[in-house]
Amino acid sequence: MIKLGEMQDLEVAKKTDIGVYLKSEDKEKPEDRVLLPIKQVPAGTKIGDKINVFIYRDSDDRIIATVKRPKIVMGEIAVLKVVEMSRIGAFLNWGLEKDLFLPFKEQIGDIRLNGEYMVGLYIDKSDRLCATMNLFKVLRTDSPYKVNDLVTGTVFSLKRGLGAMVAVDGKYLGLIHEGEILKPLRPGQSVEVRVSNIKEDGKLDLSLKDAPKLQIDKDSEKILKMLIKNKGFLALNDDSRPEEINRILGMSKSSFKKAVGRLMKKSLVIMTKSGIKMLDDDVKQPPVKKTGIRNKRK
């Protein structure tokens, strides 16, 4: 089946003066074949050869093939530039001769000429490829990832009380929960995250932190370095405000308490009413047990 909006390998079924006609399988009818214009046909192409092409509609609304890969295909998102505005929508440069239409109803916020916006690709009711800024309806939930996999994503929306919506690898829908965000994020920002959970519907919960055990080790090391820098003392304890902990250490209060607990267990620090104090080496050494036996002089 020839799929609109996708890159696919199609077989050369017929050669003509204007190009070659491509098919996806032998059962297809001749009228279902798609033209690859002569200027894009690779030299030496023969009937039966397979060519990797993108399928879209040309300026006359005819389905046509191109060997060019556009800046966006079905199931992906991309940042595209507005090159023309009209009463019914905007037109975006996606790397093909015919610009991509962004209908007015699919726009979010103010759209300006020469502005760049993150969009996805969909097929409208008239079987035409269009852009949308509503990325929830184009991002997929069938990712191949497992919990604790490290992935790269792009922030595309910030929702108060929820968190940052992320397009993982430009294809899959994920969320960084608000409580995980210690530094401001912005739409369009690239982030390296860890898959912390995979929901039943396939959506990804994402974390800016490492796996819990490794994260505690990293946070503990960070606190130790800060203690050394501040001559063995930090004016932070269990009563400190989360904002103060984040300002000084760049971590949440929960992470702070876990890391300090790890350091206290290793007898590296103590917690006082005024703050955390680094223990001296002689304090950390266990006392030598007396055996009651004296060395005899020779």
DSSP secondary structure letters along the chain:
---TTSEEEEEEEEEETTEEEEESSTTS-GGG-EEEEGGGSPTT--TT-EEEEEEEE-TTS-EEEESS--S--TT-EEEEEEEEE-SSEEEEE-SSSSPEEEEGGG--S---TT-EEEEEEEE-TTS-EEEES-GGGTSBS-----TT-EEEEEEEEEETTTEEEEEETTTEEEEEEGGG--S---TT-EEEEEEEEE-TTSPEEEESS--HHHHHHHHHHHHHHHHHHTTTEES--TTS-HHHHHHHHSS-HHHHHHHHHHHHHTTSEEE-SS-EEEPPHHHHSPPPPP-SPPPPP-
Query: What's the pLDDT score for residue 258?
Result: 84
Query: What's the pLDDT score for residue 213?
Result: 66
Listed as ranges, residues in the chain with pLDDT below 50 are: 282-298
294 burial (CB, 10 Å; 0-12 / 13-18 / 19+) is exposed
Query: What's the pLDDT score for residue 281?
Result: 54
- Is the pTM higher than 0.75? no
Q: Residue 109 has which token pair?
A: 């916020």
Those residues with Cβ within 8 angstroms of residue 32's Cβ, 6 or more apart along the chain or in another chain: 2, 23
Pairing label, strands 172-177, 204-207: parallel
Q: What is the pLDDT of residues 6-57, one digit of tens each?
A: 999 999 999 999 999 999 876 677 668 999 999 999 999 999 999 999 999 9
Domains defined along the chain, listed by start: 7-66 (2.40.50.140), 77-137 (2.40.50.140), 150-207 (2.40.50.140), 212-284 (1.10.10.10)
Query: What's the pLDDT score for residue 93?
Result: 97
Cβ-based neighbour number of residue 83 at 10 Å: 14
Residue with tokens 């002689």: 282
Query: What's the pLDDT score for residue 297?
Result: 47
